[in-house]
Amino acid sequence: MPEQLAVTEELNALVGQLGELVEYCSALRDGASGFAYVLPGTWQGPALNAFITAFESWAAQAEALRVGAEGLLETASVAEDAYNQTIEGLETMWSQLKAQLSA
């Protein structure tokens, strides 16, 4: 009888790494936002305006990265679940078939 083999370690690792990326992007955005909005107390004029404009552009791109990473995480998690369920289902089927053939 043929045996089924699926090695999911890399997929499991990818899901973990994507989860860490989402958390990192969120923490980076939150930390940078806290820092950026403290500056108006010490900066003024064109330098502050230029910084705020640049920071808002960066923040929008950082959020887009976080959202993209979150989407990849969701997709990879669905694939991981599908592989795991399929592996469990096939193992059950093979066990039942083996038991029937042995009877």
Can you give the CATH number for the domain in which 43 is found? 1.10.287
CA distances from 101 to 90, 95, 96, 98 (A): 16, 10, 9, 5
User: Domain containing 22: what range?
Assistant: 1-102
**Phi then psi dihedrals of residue 7, to 5 deg:** -100, 110
> What angle is formed at CA 21 by the lines to CA 16 and CA 24, rounded to 5 degrees?
125
User: In the numeric block, which tokens belong to residue 97?
Assistant: 């078939």
- The pLDDT value given to residue 3: 64
What is the number of structural domains in the chain? 1
Q: Which residues of the chain have pLDDT under 50?
A: 1
